[in-house]
Structure 1
Amino acid sequence: MVAQAPRSMGSPRETASAPASPSAPAPARASNQARSPGAALAGQRESGLQEQYSNLCMEKSQKINPFILHILQELDEEIKKGLEGGITLNIAGNNRLVLVERVTSEDFWILSRILKNCLYINGLDVGYNLISDVGAYYAARLLQKQLYLTYLNLMFNDIGPEGGELIAKALHKNQTLKYLRMTGNKIENTGGMFFAAMLQINSSLEKLDLGDCDLEESTVHVGCMLKENHCLVALHMCKHDMKNSGIQQLCDALYLNSSLRYLDVSCNKITHDGMVYVADVLKSNTTLEVIDLSFNRIEDAGANYLSEALTSHNRNLKALSVVSNNIKGEGLVALSQSMKTNLTFSHIYIWGNKFDEATCIAYSHLIQTGRLKPDNTDVEPFVVDGHVYLAEVSNGLKKHYYWTSTYGESYDHSSNAGYALVPVGQQP
């Protein structure tokens, strides 16, 4: 579908190539860089974000989005109380606590005009909205102009291949963004190829989430770029339809990578044959600390490959999730044995597999002896009629991957252990 542009602005490509208006003043790039966040806050107290937004909407004949207005009003009130820099602006469309009018590309156009001068805002969450390729163009512009933004969440918008290209190309020069979430945007292989190329050039991005972006063929290219990229710390590639050949090529790249600590390849089509390559990487790789293999099909054979590597070779991996992998007692017990000899291996998640009595006894013993802390696994033992069973508990590597709890601690470490073990920017 061709992206529809905001009124009188043209498509992203047309806007990008259009000559600047001769009457428009040159952007004061140097002065923006020179301003400190403290100075920006002082200026903000004179003219609040809410007022700036309302005035700009009137100037551009753009309808005011009441949700954006409400969020900016709350932020203005916090600033008046003396809030310092380092703010994440949360305008996610799945907010269940206030009435939400989802942000469109036109809304984001106005918002980006305001945020490019807000040096004290270093995080922006506009996930679950209606931002299309046109909005992606303004997101790309924002990445080029806002020099303090370290976190950008665009998950589950309507960004396609063209928008993916624009954002990826903006990251060729951006040196501040550390964490980008593109989760759920259907940028497809075309957009994925541009992100793969970006990883060869960008030297600041530490965490990239391309989960559920309809990447298949380009998954291989993204993985291969790990040979060249030595700043990426966390890579999420869930729901890529990745098969054993894909994980093989990804593992081949990891031999030459010296930075990646968190690898998420959950919800793919990897079997026990693919675990041969993962196990071999674990025998030589010295940086990987968290691997998420949930919702694949590695079975007992795959679990045994991993167990052998963790028992005899690897002393760096801290957390492993093999949730729902059709593993039976043999493989699950083998993984439990790894924890007895490998003291670095501290977190394991096994729910959704086929527990037998030996499995229940093995993990019960690990927990009762203190080798496996209750917060570091997703099962807990209980006894009925003298037999040990395992019940599920709500712990995991990324329980809040798609949503954030509206009560209790938003980023509880036991529910989001992967983010706690490998913290990068805004969590999760």
Structure 2
Amino acid sequence: MCEQLCGNDLSCSLNLPPIKGRPFPVLLLSCWQREYDVRPYNKFKFSRLDFEERMNRNFRCISDLHTIVKFMLQRRLLSVSISGVVVSNRDAGLLQSFVRSLSSVSKIELKLMRLPYEFFVMLRLNVHKMKLCELSLKGTPLSDRDANMLREFLLASKTLHTLNVSSCSLCQYNFATVADGVHKSSSIRKLCANRLVGLNLSLDTDKIASIVGSLLMQNKLVELTMNQCEFVAQDMEIIAEYLQNKNSSLKRLELAYNKISADGAMFLMRAISQGGVLELLDISGNTIGTHGGEWIAKYFSSCQMLQHLYINNNDIAASAINLILLTLKKPCRIKRLQVYNNHFDKCSAQILHRLLEAKILNNDEIDISCTYDQDSKQYRIVPWL
């Protein structure tokens, strides 16, 4: 079968069987990078899904990874993003070269990978040679041994300031191990740990919240993201205790799609109004309801530094949404307010119309807008994404 497709018949491009032995040279990888990046081509990106679609064959964890490592060693890279690759420990030399190719990179993203324990060991052994500032392992499963060695790496690194361990199959036990590394690290300022799991047990959010409270009380973190971690209202009391601190360093807090309900929203908003330093709060999808919306309206105007508030998908009634909108006055500090997928009525549309007309809000600062309905002869809310 010919590898080149004809120009007229598209049927031959469908359902092609994998071509065994199709080579993957460094030159081809270099050409692909010109599609992803611009000069001087120092931001490397590789996706296994794109590779297998283009090459029409499976990724080979030894020979194809060798090509990737060879390419990375030949260039001075600022960032590396690799997705979906299985890294084998059968070739120790290749694994060592892979870690060495990452030594001069400041931003590493290893997404949906399969990394052996030996990778983290070599990462720890080479930590003093590395210039790493941001590390993302999103979607890459971490075993207990991996978490322990990652902790050792965090303790030894003097440059790492951002860590992302979202969807890494971390439970309440090995999350505590990673959190201990963050707590004792001298450099980490941003932590993202979305979607913790309980394995065979229910997730003990009280223990998780206590761990988070210890991290916050250390007063080093600037950003904390823990979406989909099953937090409940009582857990917010621990976090709120820290947010009341006027000397807090935390600027961004994302707790979307947990279960904090109305009481959790009250704890957070009251603490932010007293502390006055948080700039971004995301509590979307937390079923805070109308009562929670009323608590937000009560404390919103007192949150002096809060510039971004996300409360989408919370089943808030129009009456509470109207109260929140009515708290906005000139000069408006809000840079982004997201309220869509709650409930609105004609009063909501009229209030929003006045806010936009008076230039208190701009269209790019809120995710809804209003339009005049010719049939009903009144304004109604429409999404503005």
Residue pair 2:61, 2:88 contacting (<8 A) in 1 also:
no
Deviates more, 1:128-137 or 1:288-297: 128-137
* Residue deviations 1:327-360 (CA, integer Å, cap 9, x gap): 0111111111222267223310011111222222
Q: Secondary structure, in 3 states, of the residue corresponding to 1:126?
A: strand
Alpha-carbon offset, residue 73 of structure 1: 3.2
* Residue deviations 1:26-68 (CA, integer Å, cap 9, x gap): xxxxxxxxxxxxxxxxxxxxxxxxxxxxxxxxxxxx9535267
Structure 2 Cα separation of the partners of residues 332 and 230 of structure 1: 33
1:179 aligns with 2:162: yes
Structure 2 Cα separation of the partners of residues 70 and 153 of structure 1: 19
Residue pair 2:62, 2:88 contacting (<8 A) in 1 also:
no
* Residue deviations 1:160-219 (CA, integer Å, cap 9, x gap): 333223212321232211111111011101112123323432221111111012264342
Residue pair 1:150, 1:177 contacting (<8 A) in 2 also:
yes
Q: Secondary structure, in 3 states, of the residue corresponding to 1:355?
A: coil
Alpha-carbon offset, residue 380 of structure 1: 2.5
1:366 aligns with 2:355: yes
Residue pair 2:166, 2:193 contacting (<8 A) in 1 also:
yes
1:243 aligns with 2:232: yes
Q: 1:114 to 1:156 in 2, by over 3 A?
A: closer
Structure 2 Cα separation of the partners of residues 131 and 161 of structure 1: 13
Alpha-carbon offset, residue 114 of structure 1: 4.2
* Structure 1 residues 27-426: aligned runs within 5 Å: 64-66=62-64, 69-70=67-68, 73=71, 76=74, 79=75, 87-93=78-84, 102-106=85-89, 110=94, 113-116=97-100, 120-131=104-115, 133=117, 135-142=119-126, 144-214=127-197, 216-217=204-205, 218-256=207-245, 258-311=248-301, 313-340=302-329, 343-385=332-374, 386-394=377-385
Q: 1:210 to 1:146 in 2, by over 3 A?
A: farther
Matched positions, count:
316
State the TM-score, normalizing by the size of structure 1.
0.67
Alpha-carbon offset, residue 155 of structure 1: 0.3
Structure 2 Cα separation of the partners of residues 340 and 149 of structure 1: 43
What do you get for the CA RMSD once the two structures are aligned? Answer: 2.7
Alpha-carbon offset, residue 388 of structure 1: 2.0
* Residue deviations 1:88-133 (CA, integer Å, cap 9, x gap): 111123xxxxxxxx23353997456444465541111111222355
Structure 2 Cα separation of the partners of residues 376 and 107 of structure 1: 52
Q: 1:68 to 1:189 in 2, by over 3 A?
A: farther
Alpha-carbon offset, residue 322 of structure 1: 0.2
- Unmatched segments (≥5 aa) in structure 2: 1-59, 198-202
